[in-house]
């Protein structure tokens, strides 16, 4: 992402914590995408319900059932 090598990513995750590092990388990569910025804001606020609804709708449009995919991961 933006020229970060794996070592830089690990350093960032160690310094900021994994969650903050991912949020920072997403913000840098998609700073001009209002939809992604809204999703980051929801994640930062812990709004899991809205994120889940978004994921179900988005994946449903792609022909993917979120619940089935989660069950596959759990197995």
pLDDT tens for each residue of 27-37: 888 989 999 99
Ramachandran sector of residue 2 (left: φ over 0; alpha: ψ -120 to 50; beta: rest): left
Q: Please say whether the beta carbons of 24 and 16 come within 8 A.
A: yes
**pTM of the predicted model, to two decimals?**
0.63
Positive or negative torsion for Cα 63, 32, 21, 23: negative
Q: Is the model's pLDDT at 24 over the cut of 70?
A: yes
pLDDT tens-digit map of 31-57: 899 999 999 899 889 899 999 999 899
How distant, in Å, are the alpha carbons of 8, 18, 56, 58 from that of 4?
Answer: 6, 15, 31, 28
Helix (H, G, I), strand (E, B) or coil at 5: coil
């Amino acid at each position: 992402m933006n020229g970060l090598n794996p070592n830089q990513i690990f350093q960032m995750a160690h310094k900021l914590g994994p969650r903050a590092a991912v949020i920072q990388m997403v913000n840098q990569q998609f700073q001009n995408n209002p939809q992604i910025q809204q999703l980051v804001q929801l994640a930062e606020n812990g709004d899991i319900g809205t994120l889940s609804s978004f994921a179900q709708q988005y994946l449903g449009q792609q022909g993917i059932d979120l619940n089935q995919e989660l069950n596959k991961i759990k197995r």
